[in-house]
Amino acid sequence: MATECKKRAVLVGCNYPNTINKLSGCVNDAKAMSEMIVSRFGFDSKNIELLTDEPESTNKPTRANIMAALKKMVVAAKEGDVLLFHFSGHGLVGRIDPHQPSNEGEAIVPCDLNPIFDVDLGQLIQQLPSGSSFTIVSDSCHSGGLIDKSKEQIGPHSTLRGIAPPVDYKTRGISIETLYQCLLTAANVMSATQSFLDTTAVANAINTGTVNMTGIGSLLTTIFGNNVSLKFLPHYERDILNLRSLTEDEGILLSGCQANELSIDMRASDKTGGKSFGAFTYAVLKVIKESNGALTNRQLVVKARNEIINLGIGQQHPCLYCSDANADAPFLGHQPSTTTGA
C-alpha cells in the first residue's frame, strides 16, 4: 500500500538587526513564502519550521538551529516526500586555501555569522531516501553554487560581471573582510566578558589567520568549537566523512543570482505593497500568484528573471541547477488548490 507523501519545509529569514550587516526584507520573505506554500502547494503548517531573527522570535536562525531543523526534516523524509529549504539573508563566497584558486565554496550566513557551506548542504542531501526531492530557494548573494555538481539549466551571463546594483537598493552579501572583522570583534568581547573563551585561544586564532577564509575558520572554531562547517574541521576530507559529489538528480537549486553576482534587498515601496522584500523572493511569489496552474522549475525561474528585469534590476540573474527531469517537473510537486494564495 502506497504511503501518502508529505511536504516539509524549513524557512529562514535573517535581517541581522542592530548590526552593520542589517537587511530589511528577509523576515518578510520567509513569512510570505510560508503563507504561499500552505495556500498554493498543500503544505501543512505543522510541517513548516520558520526561523527568523526578529526580537520576539524564540527560534533564531543560528547555524546550529538551521542545521538541526534541516537534519530533522531530512531524517523524517520518506520516499515521495517533497522538502523545501528557503533562505533569505546574506551570502558569502571565498577561497578556503589561497594557494588553490579553484577551491571555492559558496555559503549562506546565519544570524550568528557562522556560515553554512555548500558541502554542509550536500552532506544532508545525500542522506535523502530515493524518490524524495529537496528544493533550495536561496535569496542571497553568490547563491548560484550552493549545490555541488548540480547541472546548470539556467545559468551565468558572464559578461555582466561587475555591474553595480541600483543605488537605492542594498545587496545581500557579506565580504570576507567584513565577516572576519565581525568575528574578531565578537571573539575579543567574549574573551573579555566570559571565562569559557580562553584569551590565549583568541590570540592564537588571530595570529593564525589573516583576512581570508583560513583566518575566518580559525576564529569560528575558537568561538563555536566543532559546531562549524565541515570545511573547517581539523581533518576535513571527503573520504573520511564518507562524502561524495552529488549526482545531477540530487537536489534542486533555485538561486537568486549567479555565483558571481549580488542579490538585491528591496526597500519598502509602492512596487512591493509597502513592504521590504528580496527581489528574487518577491519575483517568485508574484509569478506564482499570477499563474493559473502548475509551473515547472524552469518556467518559474525564467518568469522570475523577467519579473526582476521589470523591477529595474538588470544585473541579478536567478539560476536553476538540477537534472533535466527536475527542471521540467512541477515546482514543489504542485497540487491543484481551490485557493489562489495570499
Q: How many CB atoms lie within 10 A of CB 44?
A: 12
Whether 90 is catalytic is: yes
Query: Among 141, 182, 257, 322, which one carries the catalytic annotation?
Result: 141
For 98, residues 6+ apart whose C-beta sits below 8 A from its C-beta are: 212, 214
Distances (CA, A) of 72 to 60, 146, 244: 16, 20, 21
Q: Which H helix or E strand runs over 286?
A: helix 279-290
Query: Among 86, 90, 142, 334, which one carries the catalytic annotation?
Result: 90
- The whole-angstrom separation of Cα 32 and Cα 48 is 13
For 175, residues 6+ apart whose C-beta sits below 8 A from its C-beta are: none
Closest CA to 283 of 253, 318, 259, 314: 318
- The whole-angstrom separation of Cα 116 and Cα 231 is 9
Whether 141 is catalytic is: yes
Q: Which residues are catalytic?
A: 90, 141
